[in-house]
Structure formats: C-alpha cells, structure tokens
Structure 1
Amino acid sequence: MEDNKELYDVTIIGGGPAGLFAAFYAGLREMKVKVIEAQDRLGGKVHVYPQKMIWDVGGMTPVTGSKLIEQMIEQGLTFDPTVELEQTITKMNKLDSQIFELETDQQKKHYSKTVVMAVGGGIIDPIKLDVDHASTFEDSNLFYSVQSLQDFKNKTILISGGGPSAVDWANELAPIAKKVLLIYRGDQLKGHEADVSKLTKNNVEYRTHTEITALLGDDQIREVTLLHNQTKQTEILSVDAVLVNHGYHRNHQLMNESGLRMDLKDNYFIKGNVLGESNIPGLYGAGDILSHDGKLHLIAGAFQDAANAVNGAKRYLDPEAQKVALVSSHNDRFKEKNKQYLYVK
C-alpha cells in the first residue's frame, strides 16, 4: 500500500465544474487543496458535449463546452492545488484523529482534514453497444459522444437511445446531417415533450421498439441490422455513422461503503442540505452528487454548491473563520494577478 502522508486542508473528489470551482474557492480561502479525478483529464461530464453551446452560466456569453472546460480549468488551478488524475477513490475512512483516509483503486492513500465530494452524477463512462465486434468500430464511425459536429456533416446518422440526450442530439445534428434516424427499444421516447415535438419539425425519423442487432462493415460501419422487438421483423439499413446514447455506468462502491446518508429516491446521491453538509462532519457535497430540496441542476448551481461546501469546510477547521471569502474586487490575493488583465496593451 502506497501512502501519501502529506495532509491537506481539503481534498476535492472530482474535477468537473463543481470540483474545479471548489478548488479555486478553497485556494481563495487560503486552504491547502488537493483534487483527485478518476479520468485522465479535468472537466468532468462537460467532455460529453464539447460542441454544444452553453447559454445558462450567469454573466457569460454563449460558450462551447470545450471552451468552458478550458476556462474552468484555468480558474480552478489559480492557486496551484495538487492534482491527481486517473485515480478513483474506492474507500474512505475517518480515523480516530478526525482525519479522512482516502484509498484509491491504485492502492494509494491520501489524507485530508475535510473532503468535498464533487463526483457528479456518475455519468462519465458510457454504456457500450452490446453487439458483436462493436468495439472494432470505435475508432471509425461508432460514437458515444459528439466531439465535433463536422464528424456528422452531410451524413446519414443512426442514433440509438430514447432519453433526453439522444433526442437532443437528434435535433442538434438534423440541420447539418443528410438524414437522422433515431431508434429506441422502448415504447415511448423519454425526452422532454417539447424536444420530442421538434423531431418532426427537424425531419428526424424516429422509431420505437427498435434496436441494433448487428453492425456490418470492415474498416467502418456500412450497414446496421435493426430488429423490431415486437414484430421480430429485421431490416438492414445503410448508414455513415452510428451514435449510441444508452446512458452511463455509475460506480456505487464508494457511496455504499462510506457511511453517507443517501437520497431515498436514488441511492447514488448524497442526501445533504443547501450548505452542502452531509451526515458525516467534515464531509461536504457539491454539484450533481448532492441532493437537497433547493437543488439547482445547472452548472451555475454547481458553482454555488462548491462555494457553500468550501465555506463549510473552512469553518469546520476554524470556527472563528469568516462565513464566506472576501469578494474578489476587495481581495488582496488578486492584486498582483489583476495586473496581467488590467494593464495588457
């Protein structure tokens, strides 16, 4: 077992929007910060939609997901937190000394006085298409996310999935594609009714009770075999690209073994409060992982969760500390940093 005995004021589990803003805000509060991210890059689930335009972050003009990731990372690293990538926390214990011991899937241990859980909704790893030889096409024209709209321009696209994301992508790609066909194995699409109505307006053909049973081609998919799971009839369809949106795997191990009180509706999410407090003193939630009655499921809401969690952690360590950080316009920590923005010619 490899131990990292260095002790941090706060360790943030997750490097998405909530985790990155928590790292920034904790640095602002002069805390010693570590970020542990399971993926090989920071940015979280925004990597699922790098080409989508994001309009609903306050004070920010429309920005692509990839640009938002770039800006969030720059902000999150402002105060030089320690960052550990490709490490998944599998166990969490609170030692007698009130120190959190965090163990990873690489048999490494990390130690922290407080913890902010910012692991999102656990939707980073997509559920793969369960069809023979599907993996052989992942480097050509089988997609689980849209990294570039140009990959689909003037092409015949088959989208498999019936949830909000699948419906959303069908509408998003329709204007640039030659043709979009959306299939779903269930009896009714689960997207928002307004978005489902747009499918017809955007000339998107969609079929229910339909699923992929085979991918045909050599270096790339040329045709797919479709099955109507009620009539058992099959059809072979020529396609240029296949986009699969069947949902995402969640890792419940840490949640199940941590002693955290979970949301009764979905046992994955932490049942906390608007201040990010969990049932474990010194452990806070932020972003999608946190459930409470006043929850705002927007990136803007993740930012507020992050600040609340960090403020709670700061006061947990020092009950005499101010409830919130000094605002940036009056904070001496930014005096030198401001010069690079104010005095650039």
Structure 2
Amino acid sequence: MKDVTIIGGGPAGLYATFYSGLRGMSVTLIEAQAQLGGKVRLYPEKVIWDAGGMPPLSGEDFCAGLVRQGRTFDPEVHLETIVADIKQTENGFEVLTEGGSSFESSTVIVAAGGGIITPQRLEVEGAERFDMTNLHYTAQGLETFRDKTVLISGGGNTAVDWANELEGIAANVIISCRSALKGHEAVVEKVMCSTVDCMLQTSIQRLIADESGTRIKQVELQCGLDAGRIVDVDHVLVNHGYERELAFLNGTSLALEMEEQRITAAANGATSVPGLFAAGDVALHPGKINLLAGAFHDAANAVNAAKTYVDPEAAASGMVSSHHSGFAERNEALKKAGQV
C-alpha cells in the first residue's frame, strides 16, 4: 500500500514522482511505454529551449535528466504496463492493469499526458509500403536527412520545429500544409524568413515509388481542386498529430468529470473524485499552461494536494530542496565529485 500511484512517466509524472519523494511519500509509477520520458522521447534530437533555468538541451538529454531526477527517491517503477481501470476501495484506490496486476494506494495522480500516443497515419493509398524506408512519422536522427530533399507534411508546432531544425542539415526542406502554419509565432516567423519552401494550401495526393517500389521518389501535391504538381524528394516526414488513447479514463467506474479527453481539475489538481488528482497535459483547469514549466507546476500542486489528503496535518507545500535535510549527504557527495 503506497501513498500515491502515479500514472504516466512523462515530464509531469516524473516530476510528481520526484516531488512526492521530496515530501516523504511512497510511490508507484506506472508507464505504458518501454521507456520513461513521455512524448519528449519521440524527438531525441529536437532542441528544447523553454525549460526554466536550463540551457538548450536535446530531447534525449532532457529525458535523461527527467528520469534521473524522477528516480531520486527510489520509486517502484513499472514499464510496459497499461492501466485498465481505477477503483475506489475502503482505504483509497486500486489501479488495475491489462496484464492482471493491481496496485493499491491512498491517492492517485493521473499524469498520462494525451494517453498512449500513436502518430496519425498519412491517408494516401499505398503509403504503408514506404514505412520501412523513407516515410517517417518521427525523426529519430537528423543525420538521416543530411544533404537530402525532405518534404514535411503538416503545419503545427512539430512540423514547423522540424523544418527549422532541418534547414541547416538537409539540402532542401519543403513544408506542405493544407492551411496556414499554426506553430508558435516565433518559430513560424523563423521558418517563413528561412530558405524552407512553404507550400501552403497543399496536401499530399500521391506517393510515387522508385524503380524498386520500396522508396518514395516523388510526391504529387494537390492545391485546392488542382492536382498534378510533382515534387522530387528523398524523404517524407509526416506530422499530422497523434491519436490519443485514454481508455482507462473513459471506461473507469469512477464519477470522473472530463471534457474533450481531459480531466476537469482545480488548479491544485483536485478532480471530481476525492483523492484522485491530475497533472500535465491530461488536466484541464483555469490558467492552464501547456509548456514543460506548466507540467512541473501541475505536478507539484497535485503532490502537495495528495500529501495533505493523506496527512491533513502536513504542510500545504514542500520546502525548497536547498533547505531539505534529505539532500545534505547527496549535496556533499556532488561537491566532492566536482559536479556542483
């Protein structure tokens, strides 16, 4: 019986795990994927600039730091574990998994982001035959695209970010987007002032294979009612968003208020079910900030609320780490090693 079960091992879940340990709470952390890190894992070479107090970091390095911090207080971690249901018990909650396991705790923090994430597929006939060659739904290594012509399909933040990242690596970068670009203002302005060829009001109509039939050689674009514009490519990178599965929330027996696949929550993470809290992208509350900083803020609030739920006499918030006695020995060890 733990103090808290945290569902989701992305930024919000990992910081909630760390902060729970900081507050002396025992933790079970459950993650559906084989690795911790959440959606950031999909972009190992993407550079992250907007994490407070941190220099620009690659997604891979940022994930490594999140995981190391999350494991500080030795939580019980279960990977490749899909939650099937959450039930209230006499002593708190029981979290049931698809594999038949169950975990009991006094409280639950749902930090499942958008749920189990699957990239939306390109809806073009025969596209699946190029999945193993040069049709991509994420970019695991930028060197793959060096000195190549890359067509990016999509106009959201991810598509625009990749265009900016690839501009100095690929020989040519093309964005094909059905409407206007929808990324953050600064990154959209950057890409519009770059050498990236932004083909707005277009979409992929057909993928044309090379002689082997296994690689895309050309893409036929449609513009409005007109089709037939042929573009030579080496790679196609599709960023059409993600299918998000939160089946355990939709099917749970709890009277959990939700809106648009998000849990309706208060600013402190409290939900319509006492003792169950939400943090990160899965939580919807006034003043929500959809940034990494917002995920960490949500996580700390949810942990503080869970702590006082378990122990009403506890302080409303945790002390800062520099004043925390639990770090004294760790700090000395880091100083001796020259790491701080």
If the length of structure 1 is used for normalisation, what is the TM-score?
0.89
1:172-191 equivalences under 5 Å are 172-184=165-177, 186-191=178-183
Residue equivalent to 2:228: 234
- 1:311 and 2:304 are equivalent in the alignment: yes
Residue 116 of structure 1: aligned partner: 109
Letter in 2 for 1:271: T
Instruction: Kindly indicate whether the alpha-carbon contact (under 8 Å) linking 1:35 and 1:82 is maintained by their aligned counterparts in 2.
Output: yes
Deviations 1:51-88 (A, max 9, x none): 22222222222222111110110110011111111122
Letter in 2 for 1:190: K
Q: Give 2:276's aligned amino acid.
A: L
Q: 257, 262, 278: which is aligned to 2:258?
A: 262
**Cα gap change, 1:188 to 1:256, in 2 (>3 Å):** same
Ranges in structure 1 where 5+ consecutive residues have no aligned partner: 1-6
- What is the Cα deviation at residue 229 of structure 1? 6.0
**Counterpart for residue 35 of structure 1:** 29
Task: Give 2:162's aligned amino acid.
Answer: W
Shift of 1:178: 0.9
- Within 2, Cα distance between the matches of 1:113 and 1:136? 49
Q: Does the 8 A contact of 1:90 with 1:105 survive in 2?
A: yes
Residue 320 of structure 2 corresponds to which residue in structure 1?
A: 327
Return the match for 2:68 from 59, 69, 74: 74
Q: Compared with structure 1, are the counterparts of its residues 156 and 81 closer, same or farther at alpha carbon in structure 2 (3 Å cutoff)? A: same
Give a deviation string over 1:100-134, Cα, whole Å, max 9, x none.
12222223222221100101134732112234553
Q: Which residue of 2 aligns with 1:126?
A: 119
In the alignment, does 2:291 pair up with 1:295? no
Secondary structure of 2:245's counterpart equals coil
Q: 2:95 aligns with which of 102, 108, 121?
A: 102
**Counterparts of 2:147 and 2:129 in 1: how far apart (Å)?**
24
| Counterpart mapping for 1:3-152 below 5 A | 7-95=1-89, 97-122=90-115, 124-152=117-145
Extract unaligned runs of 5+ from structure 2. none
Residues 1:33 and 1:193: Cα distance change in structure 2 (over 3 Å): closer
Q: SS of the counterpart of 2:258?
A: coil
Displacement of 1:8 in angstroms is 1.6
| Equivalent residues of 2:135, 2:216 under 8 A apart | no
Letter of the aligned partner of 1:204 in structure 2? V
Q: Distance in 1 between matches of 2:131 and 2:159?
A: 18
Written as runs of structure 1 = structure 2, the 5 A alignment for 1:234-253 is 234-253=228-247
Alpha-carbon distance change, 176 to 329 in structure 1, aligned in 2, over 3 angstroms: same
Work out the number of aligned pairs and report it: 334
Contact 1:215–1:223 (Cα < 8 Å) also in 2:
yes
- The alpha carbon displacement at 1:322 in A equals 1.6
* Alignment CA distance shift 1:289-1:322 (3 Å): same
Structure 1, 188-197 or 303-312: larger mean CA deviation? 188-197
- Structure 1 residue 192: deviation in Å? 4.2
Provide the alpha-carbon RMSD of the alignment.
2.1
What is the distance in 2 between the residues matched to 1:36 and 1:19? Answer: 9
- Closer, same or farther: CA 193–299 of 1 in aligned 2, 3 Å: closer
**Alpha-carbon contact 1:225-1:234 (below 8 Å) kept:** no
> 2:319 aligns to what SS in structure 1?
coil
How far is 1:215 from its partner? 4.7
TM-score (norm. length: structure 2):
0.91
d(CA) in 2 for partners of 1:154, 1:123: 34
Query: Is the Cα contact below 8 Å between 2:145 and 2:170 reproduced in 1?
Result: yes
**Greater than 6 Å deviation, 4+ residue runs:** none
Q: Which residue of 2 aligns with 1:279?
A: 272
Give the secondary-structure state (helix, strand or coil) at the position aligned to 2:183: coil
Q: In structure 2, what is the Cα distance between the partners aligned to 1:90 and 1:109?
A: 10
Other structure's SS at 1:111 match? strand
The whole-number CA distance in structure 2 between the counterparts of 1:219 and 1:123 is 32
After TM superposition, give the deviation of residue 194 of structure 1 in Å: 5.1
